[in-house]
């Protein structure tokens, strides 16, 4: 049954994936976690302290958009400018082509040894393999690259290739490789390791025939390369040997020198949290520096310098033509998206990576240069939490690229024997061949609807042993997890029987019955109704479909688009009546405010975007505009229903916001309101709970999800006697599971008693 093309059942495949992720977490997780979390915090601080961050992000984005648009003209221009400077430009259509060109230059120069500074593009081309196979010596001069070259491993991060290795592991590697024992053996002191590696590498740079660098940017007008480094190895690599080969993707071209300014000021802030790296070279080769011949102790004239610029297409022109992948070409490879990603922090690029590229944007690069299949394993590790988006210096919608690639992979999948069974329950717009697990979560609304005709029967079936076994076999749902139970009565059933209860309403408000509130947790909806009514709003809860978040997170773009259209149709007459739409679930609000821009016609999107609010953002606004917070349940006032139910009267609250809520800048409304209501509010510095909708339920990812969640729980520390509240469904679930207690939505804490 359900036999996969690579052999084994899908359950076996999911288990194997879970085991692989666990072993990478064990080996790489600690170092990666320490380095990425530090960089992420420094970067947040650097962005915050710099008053031009947003302006320059906008300018940088524009420059890249225009440069990619005008790429053919820039390619013409760079050939002329480099040639007039005295260098040669080679256009390489593929990796093979590039490697052939490089080997030919080596042969023509009669070279034996090449030193290299760090370059992801040369990793993509596998330049080292090509040269070594042809009999040349290749030495990496960036210390991190040097480490992984000795270890024969792949980079685990865009800018920190050896980030997964601890100093102790590096010491062992050096001691083994160079046979250092006894007093000669190196300790795990980073100073000692750096000094040792510097000596080893330094010798090689002085002897090399050819120096190879990448380029962060290439200026078409002048033939100038921008190289961003801290160590100084790229500077030495470029000017010490007589021949310099620079290898760069064609997307690195920008028109003029002044275009480099925004990137100069942003790239380090984004990637490492420095204001600038130690060195940023604006290098226009062949340079005027005389050539030092250390053996002969002479300086040769600079006229002897050779410079070759190898510009690599390898799929990039096709990416440029691809409306969805084009944005990937704006990436300046700063690594910020990886550092800000909770799953990346746990795993690093050996799990969250493809053949060459790592982290969230790696999916776009892999799909573009190595083919969609190479992005297959990594793509699901992006949960769409969106925390990378505000960090990207060129404003790339990284989650969207992951969604698109997932959608393409879904469509390319093989037909599966369970399709017929699943099809009956899952009326989506997707092609057959979709992974049944994705189909299950993507169509959760239909399943919930069907199930809620007889919630007890459904719940009993799901939580029974055979039921869980079936869920794990059919849909890959982790058997340690309990799927949320369906409520006895949906929110709309309750509200239909109860009706609005407000004497003299000031305004009419639509409460969006999100899937989770409607079917699984009507309590948060009832609390929202009570709070809104206490602030003189008449509440309407019309039937509105699921936002499309569920299918979108499984990469089912067309289904999500259908959902978006239906949501808009269901709300349009409400909007026509001038009613505001209030949303409890942040991931659904983020659909209305962000993703719908891609799914709906512009006027429909704008209308929904401008008139929808997160519940406590709205309540905050009401209180700012004349309503009184004293109408709600405050710390000093009457107990809210949830406090009565949990028998907990507390003035201290540990609050966890939601990733997308943070990206939308809405976290502070909740913390301020709770403080205004007299609570003392604690928040954690860890941003992600790790659950991310369906992610934590999936057999293969449950372990990663738990590890991310535990970081959060560690950060919160002791919560005895506190109420833990969270804004997102998934966060409520995850924290509830970690703390083994009910974790309500903050609106429940503010609900006045007696609204039922």
Binding site for ligand SF4 (CB under 6 A): 158, 270, 331-337, 361, 391-394, 396, 398
Least distance in angstroms from the C-beta of 38 to another protein:
9
Q: Which is nearer to another protein, 281 or 458 (CB)?
A: 281
Least distance in angstroms from the C-beta of 401 to ligand SF4:
9
Count of H-run helices and E-run strands, the chain: 37, 19
Q: Which is nearer to another protein, 142 or 445 (CB)?
A: 142
Q: Is 167 among the residues that bind another protein (CB under 8 A)?
A: yes
Least distance in angstroms from the C-beta of 127 to another protein:
20
Q: Which is nearer to ligand SF4, 270 or 692 (CB)?
A: 270
Least distance in angstroms from the C-beta of 198 to another protein:
6
Q: Which residue has the tokens 């821009």?
A: 597
Least distance in angstroms from the C-beta of 151 to ligand SF4:
24
Provide the CA 84 distance to its chain's centre, in angstroms: 42
Please, which residues bridge with residue 655 across strands? 683, 725
74 binds, among ligand SF4, another protein, none (CB under 5 to 8 A by kind): none
Helix axes 522-534, 491-498, angle to 10 degrees: 40
Q: Is 297 among the residues that bind another protein (CB under 8 A)?
A: yes
Residue 276 phi/psi, 5-degree rounding, is: -140, 155
Least distance in angstroms from the C-beta of 170 to ligand SF4:
25
The answer to whether 605 touches 407, Cβ cutoff 8 Å, is: no
Q: Which is nearer to ligand SF4, 344 or 669 (CB)?
A: 344
Alpha-carbon dihedral of residues 563, 569, 570, 571, nearest 10 degrees? 110
Q: Which one of residues 22, 97, 153, 292 is an interface residue with another protein (CB under 8 A)?
A: 292
Residues in contact with 418: Cβ distance below 8 Å, sequence separation at least 6, in sequence order? 2, 436, 474
Residue count of the chain, please give it: 756
Residues in contact with 343: Cβ distance below 8 Å, sequence separation at least 6, in sequence order? 352, 381, 382, 383, 690, 704, 708
Pure H helices in 178-259: 190-207, 233-239
Q: Which one of residues 58, 62, 279, 739 is an interface residue with another protein (CB under 8 A)?
A: 279
Q: Which is nearer to another protein, 275 or 714 (CB)?
A: 275
Least distance in angstroms from the C-beta of 752 to ligand SF4:
44
Q: Which is nearer to ligand SF4, 398 or 530 (CB)?
A: 398
Least distance in angstroms from the C-beta of 353 to ligand SF4:
13
Contact flags string 13-52 toward another protein, x per CB under 8 A: ------------------x---x-----------------
Residues in contact with 282: Cβ distance below 8 Å, sequence separation at least 6, in sequence order? 224, 225, 226, 257, 260
Residue 697 phi/psi, 5-degree rounding, is: -85, -15
Least distance in angstroms from the C-beta of 157 to ligand SF4:
10
Q: Is 58 among the residues that bind another protein (CB under 8 A)?
A: no
Least distance in angstroms from the C-beta of 293 to another protein:
6
Q: Which one of residues 211, 223, 335, 353 is an interface residue with another protein (CB under 8 A)?
A: 223
Q: Is 212 among the residues that bind another protein (CB under 8 A)?
A: no
Q: Please work out, in degrees rounded to the nearest 5, the angle formed at the alpha carbon of residue 295 by the alpha carbons of 293 and 301.
A: 15
Q: Which stretch binds another protein (CB under 8 A): 107-115, 197-205, 512-520, 659-667?
A: 197-205
Contact flags string 239-268 toward another protein, x per CB under 8 A: xx---------------xxx-xx--xx---
The answer to whether 337 touches 398, Cβ cutoff 8 Å, is: yes
293 binds, among ligand SF4, another protein, none (CB under 5 to 8 A by kind): another protein
391 binds, among another protein, ligand SF4, none (CB under 5 to 8 A by kind): ligand SF4
223 binds, among another protein, ligand SF4, none (CB under 5 to 8 A by kind): another protein
Q: How far is 57 from 76, CA to CA, in rounded Å?
A: 27
Say how many CA atoms lie within 13 Å of 501 toward its Cβ.
14
Q: How far is the CA of 70 from the CAs of 60, 66, 67, 246, 254, in angstroms? A: 15, 6, 5, 22, 9
Q: Which of 383, 384, 481 is nearest to 738 (CA)?
A: 481
Q: Is 233 among the residues that bind another protein (CB under 8 A)?
A: yes
Burial class from Cβ neighbours inside 10 Å (0-12, 13-18, 19+) for residue 355 reads middle
Q: For residue 372, what is the DSSP state?
A: G
Sheet holding 680-683, edge to edge: 680-683, 652-656, 723-726
Q: How far is 375 from 364, CA to CA, in rounded Å?
A: 8
- Residue 587 tokens read as 């991931």
Q: Residue 403's CB: how many other CB atoms inside 10 A?
A: 25
Q: Which of 103, 346, 347 is nearest to 210 (CA)?
A: 103
End-to-end CA distance of the chain: 49
Q: Which is nearer to another protein, 300 or 577 (CB)?
A: 300
Least distance in angstroms from the C-beta of 271 to ligand SF4:
7
Q: Which is nearer to ligand SF4, 339 or 374 (CB)?
A: 339
Burial class from Cβ neighbours inside 10 Å (0-12, 13-18, 19+) for residue 646 reads middle
Q: Is 178 among the residues that bind another protein (CB under 8 A)?
A: no
Q: Which one of residues 280, 470, 485, 570 is an interface residue with another protein (CB under 8 A)?
A: 280
Contact flags string 87-126 toward another protein, x per CB under 8 A: ----------------------------------------
Q: Is 147 among the residues that bind another protein (CB under 8 A)?
A: yes
Per CB under 8 A, residues contacting another protein are 31, 35, 81, 84-85, 141-144, 147, 160, 162, 165-167, 170, 188, 190-191, 193-194, 197-198, 201-202, 205, 219, 221-224, 230-233, 235-236, 239-240, 256-258, 260-261, 264-265, 272, 275-284, 287-290, 292-294, 297-299, 302
């Amino acid at each position: 049954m359900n036999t996969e093309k690579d052999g084994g059942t899908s359950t076996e495949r999911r288990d194997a994936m879970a085991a692989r992720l666990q072993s990478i977490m064990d080996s790489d997780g600690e170092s990666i976690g320490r380095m990425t979390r530090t960089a992420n915090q420094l970067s947040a601080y650097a962005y915050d302290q710099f008053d031009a961050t947003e302006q320059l992000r906008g300018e940088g984005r524009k420059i890249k958009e225009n440069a990619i648009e005008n790429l053919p003209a820039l390619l013409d221009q760079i050939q002329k400018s480099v040639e007039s400077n005295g260098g040669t430009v080679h256009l390489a259509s593929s990796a093979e082509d590039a490697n052939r060109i490089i080997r030919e230059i080596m042969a023509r120069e009669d070279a034996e040894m090449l030193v290299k500074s760090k370059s992801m593009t040369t990793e993509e081309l596998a330049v080292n393999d090509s040269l070594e196979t042809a009999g040349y010596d290749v030495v990496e001069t960036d210390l991190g690259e040097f480490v992984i070259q000795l270890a024969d491993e792949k980079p685990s991060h865009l800018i920190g290739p050896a980030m997964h290795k601890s100093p102790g592991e590096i010491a062992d590697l050096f001691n083994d490789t160079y046979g250092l024992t006894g007093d000669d053996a190196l300790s795990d002191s980073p100073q000692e390791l750096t000094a040792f590696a510097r000596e080893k590498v330094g010798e090689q740079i002085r002897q090399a025939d050819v120096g190879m660098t990448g380029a962060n940017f290439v200026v078409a007008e002048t033939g100038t390369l921008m190289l961003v480094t801290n160590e100084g190895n790229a500077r030495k690599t470029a000017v010490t040997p007589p021949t310099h080969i620079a290898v760069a993707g064609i997307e690195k071209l920008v028109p003029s020198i002044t275009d480099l300014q925004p990137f100069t000021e942003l790239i380090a802030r984004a990637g490492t949290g420095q204001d600038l790296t130690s060195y940023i070279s604006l290098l226009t080769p062949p340079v005027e520096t005389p050539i030092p011949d250390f053996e002969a102790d002479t300086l040769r004239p600079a006229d002897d310098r050779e410079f070759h610029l190898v510009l690599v297409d390898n799929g990039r022109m096709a990416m440029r033509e691809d409306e969805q992948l084009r944005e990937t070409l704006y990436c300046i490879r700063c690594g910020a998206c990886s550092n800000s990603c909770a799953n990346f922090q746990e795993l690093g690029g050996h799990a969250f990576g493809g053949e060459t590229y790592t982290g969230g944007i790696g999916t776009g690069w892999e799909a573009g240069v190595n083919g969609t299949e190479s992005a297959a394993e990594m793509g699901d590790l992006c949960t769409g939490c969106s925390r990378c988006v505000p960090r990207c210096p060129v404003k790339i919608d990284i989650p969207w690229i992951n969604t698109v690639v997932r959608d393409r992979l879904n469509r390319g999948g093989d037909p599966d024997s369970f399709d017929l069974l699943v099809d009956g329950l899952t009326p989506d717009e997707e092609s057959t061949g979709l992974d049944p697990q994705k189909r299950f979560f993507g169509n959760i609304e239909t399943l919930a609807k069907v199930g809620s005709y007889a919630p007890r029967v459904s719940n009993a079936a799901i939580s029974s042993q055979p039921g869980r076994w079936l869920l794990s076999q059919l849909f890959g749902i982790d058997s340690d997890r309990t799927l949320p139970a369906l409520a006895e009565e949906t929110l709309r059933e309750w509200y239909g029987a109860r009706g609005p209860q407000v004497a003299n309403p000031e305004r009419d408000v639509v409460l969006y019955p999100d899937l989770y509130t409607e079917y699984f947790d009507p309590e948060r909806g009832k609390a929202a109704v009570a709070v809104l009514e206490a602030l003189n709003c008449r509440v309407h809860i019309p039937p509105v479909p699921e936002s499309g978040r569920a299918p979108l997170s499984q990469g089912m773009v067309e289904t999500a688009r259908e959902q978006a259209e239906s949501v808009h149709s269901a709300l349009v007459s409400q909007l026509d009546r001038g009613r505001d739409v209030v949303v409890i679930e942040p991931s659904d609000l983020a659909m209305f405010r962000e993703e719908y821009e891609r799914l709906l016609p512009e006027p429909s999107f704008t209308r929904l975007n401008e008139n929808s609010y997160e519940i406590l953002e709205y309540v905050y606004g009401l209180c700012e505009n004349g309503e009184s917070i004293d109408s709600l349940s405050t710390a000093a006032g009457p107990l809210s229903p949830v406090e009565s139910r949990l028998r907990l009267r507390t003035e201290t609250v540990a609050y966890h916001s939601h990733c997308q809520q943070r990206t939308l800048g809405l976290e502070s409304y909740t913390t301020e309101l709770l403080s205004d209501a007299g609570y003392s509010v604690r928040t954690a510095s860890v941003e992600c709970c790790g659950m991310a909708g369906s992610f934590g339920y999936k057999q293969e990812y449950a372990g990663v999800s738990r590890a991310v969640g535990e970081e959060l729980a560690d950060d919160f520390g002791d919560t005895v006697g506190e109420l833990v509240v969270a804004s997102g469904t998934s966060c409520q679930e995850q924290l509830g599971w970690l703390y083994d207690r009910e974790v309500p939505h903050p609106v429940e804490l503010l609900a006045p008693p007696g609204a039922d």
